Amino acid sequence: MTNLSSSETPSRLARFMDSDVLHSFLRSPSAMIAAFITLVFILAALFAPLIAPYNPFDPAQISLWDGKLPPSFAGGDDRYFLGTDNQGRDMLSTILYGGRLSIIVGLAAVFLGMLMGVTLGIISGYLGGTFDAVIMRIADVQLTIPGILLAILINGIGRAFLPVDVRDEFAIYVVIIAIGLSDWPQFARITRGATLVEANKEYVASARVIGLPSWLIMVRHLLPNVLRPVLVLATLGLATAIISEATLSFLGQGIPPTTPSLGTLIRVGNEFLFSGLWWITLFPAIALVILVFSVNLFGDWLRDALNPKLR
Amino acid sequence: MFAFIARRLAQSILVMAVVSAVAFSLFNFVGDPVNNMVGQDATRERRAEIRLQLGLDDPIPVQYVRFVSNMLQGDFGISYRIKQPVDKLILERLPATLELVFVSAIISLIVGIVAGVYTGIHRNSWISRSILSSSLIGVSLPTFIIGIALIYIFAVHLRWLPSSGRAGTIDFGWWKTSLLSLEGWRSILLPAITLSLFQLTMILRLVRAEMMEVMQTDFIKFARARGLSERAINYGHALRNTLVPVITIIGLNIGGLIAFSVITETVFQWPGTGLMFIQAVDFVDVPIMSAYLVFVAILFVIINLVVDLLYAAVDPRIRIGNA
């Protein structure tokens, strides 16, 4: 069975190797660089415990005596390439672990928003009626409020509901939910639009004719066909989510300083900027900007590549 | 037209009902309101008295109605931390936010339109290219990093401008303004520029795109054929026709400015409403939080209504389509 089908239609890999998308990728240096940098960041995030010279979360490895050391190339200690923060944590390790948190939070938040938006969008687009009207009205209203403001507000409310002693512990979940809730309408809209187009095609009509239940048509037939634009939105949304997380953390409303994300590091460093300790802010900020920039660049390319109309 | 307005109004009222419900539940379910007001060691009688005073023993719907009617009269309760009426606190902080938003809106408008027109007309000059590529960087940098960078360059390094706070305010009745003194302008400049950058790039790109489109149209060619001066064509004919989308974007952008003012105010410790909200979250100062929620909701409802009406006034198709 598998043999038969693979001899008739090329395998997924072969199709991918021959696709327009890969072709356009290989011809776009900026996309390749962006993808490479993004990949490096994700690998660094995955393997942070292996790469990082120190474990910044292990109090046994931190000495306050080593605090506030400048980078080794700027007259600091040879042990700490990018210097240390105010608590004596190695900046390089802290950035690796922080980047890991930023990426995890970003991915989780985008996934949450995507899950919500795609589900509601497909149901809205396929079933229509009152459900569609209500959901899209809510999405419209929410879209008029900038996502970051909504994330700040939801996050603030979420924090307020948590008792003080567990606030830091659960902060990361509150942040994920706040950002996820703030960006579902975009996913819902784009999914609904794609669903409306797909629902009029013959394969959906045939599926309906042979008596498949609505949910099966939505999951099995519509979902795979509306994922293209969603994928683009998710990539661009990842960059926004990472910025949102960094912003919340910078405002002191996000990831606590005990397990800092990039935004938290920038916040902590900002307090020492006036005393000339520039490296505590600068390096996490550079890491954040490069990460966001390359994810954005990759997303832009993906949007153009998956949408032949723009080419 | 009437149906259109009526529907939008109904929608706005619904939004306000939802937001006030959230604000109300914050009030009632976050911590113990009595503890928050009198502290842990008040006597039992005192507590009962406060409970009665706040009406906490009434059914929830009754409490909600009372909450909304108090809100409509501008009564948001007393701040837990500062122990002052919240409406007064917000009114005190409001001028700072509004002036910041106003100045940055002006900056982004003027610079955005001028640069947009320029890059739209001189498409391939190196100035256009450098404006465009730096605007790309402006969009992808998070607001707070731009703020920190500006502080570091202009306040720490060059020492030209103050790094934070709102100095040099002059009382104008209850409105404290920083627009009437040099010191005030010095302190508003950095936060206003930070806040304006994002909107500026959006306006720039929009004006540029619209200009490029309008320049291709027949009436511009005709204007050229009539022998009008470049200046009259560019500004009198082309720019005017790009302004419809620009108006909407600006309207929507005021919302964006309010949103990002929370971040900018925190970076620059600018004593506006956004900073007040962030501090309120830190101390779980629920009355301020819920008042700010309602305040933001009202702002956005008004902005959206005005933009919708402007839309309808400018573009007749919308009137017909929705009425």
Task: Tell me the pLDDT tens digit for each residue of A217-262.
Answer: 888 888 888 888 888 889 888 988 999 999 999 888 888 888 888 8
- Domain borders along chain B are 2-72, 87-322
Q: State the pLDDT confidence band at A93, using cuts at 50, 70 and 90.
A: confident
| pLDDT top residue among A82 and A159 | A159
Q: State the pLDDT confidence band at A105, using cuts at 50, 70 and 90.
A: very high
Is A288 part of the contact surface with chain B (CB cutoff 8 Å)?
yes
pLDDT digits (tens, 9 = 90+) for B42-79: 677 777 777 777 777 777 788 888 888 888 887 777 77
Q: What is the ipTM of this complex?
A: 0.80
CA angle, A221 as apex, A218 and A223 as ends, to 5°? 60
User: Nearest chain B Cα to A147, which residue?
Assistant: B259
Mean pLDDT of B147-170: 79
Is B180 part of the contact surface with chain A (CB cutoff 8 Å)?
no
Maximum C-alpha span of chain A = 75
Q: State the pLDDT confidence band at B92, using cuts at 50, 70 and 90.
A: confident
Per-residue pLDDT, A8: 55
Per-residue pLDDT, B28: 74
Per-residue pLDDT, A21: 73
Per-residue pLDDT, A5: 45
pLDDT digits (tens, 9 = 90+) for B266-289: 888 888 888 888 888 888 888 888
Per-residue pLDDT, A106: 92
| pLDDT top residue among B118 and B173 | B118
Contact A250 B286 (CB under 8 A): no
Of the options 3.40.190.10, 1.10.3720.10, 1.10.10.60, 3.30.1130.10, the CATH number for the domain spanning B87-322: 1.10.3720.10
Per-residue pLDDT, B6: 82
Work out how many CB contacts closer than 8 A connect A with B: 99
Q: State the pLDDT confidence band at B323, using cuts at 50, 70 and 90.
A: very low
B278 contact residues in A (CB cutoff 8 A): 152, 156, 251-253
* Partner residue facing A246 (CB), from B140, B142, B282: B142
To the nearest whole Å, the CA of A119 is away from the closest chain B CA by 23
Per-residue pLDDT, B33: 66
Nearest to B116 by CA among B231, B257, B260, B235: B235
Average pLDDT taken over every residue of chain B: 80
Per-residue pLDDT, A4: 46
Per-residue pLDDT, A63: 66
| pLDDT top residue among B126 and B136 | B126
Contact A153 B141 (CB under 8 A): no
pLDDT at A112 over 90: yes
Percentage of the residues of chain B whose pLDDT score is greater than 90: 1
To the nearest whole Å, the CA of A145 is away from the closest chain B CA by 7
Q: How far apart are CA B4 and CA B320, in angstroms?
A: 9
pLDDT at A311 over 70: no
Identify the weakest region by mean pLDDT among A76-80, A103-107, B295-299.
A76-80
Per-residue pLDDT, A177: 92
Q: Rounding to the nearest 10 degrees, give the CA dihedral for residues B33, B39, B41, B46.
A: -60
Contact B259 A274 (CB under 8 A): no
Nearest to B118 by CA among B98, B141, B135: B135
Q: How far apart are CA B220 and CA B225, in angstroms?
A: 8
| pLDDT top residue among B13 and B55 | B13
Is A148 part of the contact surface with chain B (CB cutoff 8 Å)?
yes
pLDDT at A3 over 60: no
| pLDDT top residue among A113 and B165 | A113
> What is the Cα gyration radius of chain B?
24
The distance in angstroms from the start CA to the end CA of chain A is 38
3-state secondary structure of B85: strand
Per-residue pLDDT, A116: 93
Question: Which site among B29, B32, B140 would you substitute to test the A interface, given the most A Cβ atoms closer than 10 Å to its Cβ?
Answer: B140
Per-residue pLDDT, B146: 86
DSSP state of A164: G
pLDDT at A48 over 80: no
Q: State the pLDDT confidence band at A2, using cuts at 50, 70 and 90.
A: very low
pLDDT at A9 over 80: no
Roughly what angle, to the nearest 10 degrees, separates helices A129-143 and A91-127?
A: 140
Which 289-308 residues of chain B touch chain A by CB within 8 A? 289, 293, 296, 300, 303-304
To the nearest whole Å, the CA of A162 is away from the closest chain B CA by 8
pLDDT digits (tens, 9 = 90+) for B224-277: 888 888 888 877 778 777 777 777 677 767 777 888 888 899 888 888 888 888
Identify the weakest region by mean pLDDT among A277-286, B35-44, B124-133, B298-307.
B35-44
Do residues B136 and B202 lie in contact, with contact meaning Cβ atoms separated by under 8 Å? no
For the entire predicted model, the pTM comes to 0.83
Report CA torsion sign: A168, B295, B253, A310: positive
pLDDT at A118 over 90: yes
Token pair, residue A193, equals 């639009």
What kind of fold does domain A103-310 have according to CATH?
A: MetI-like fold (1.10.3720)
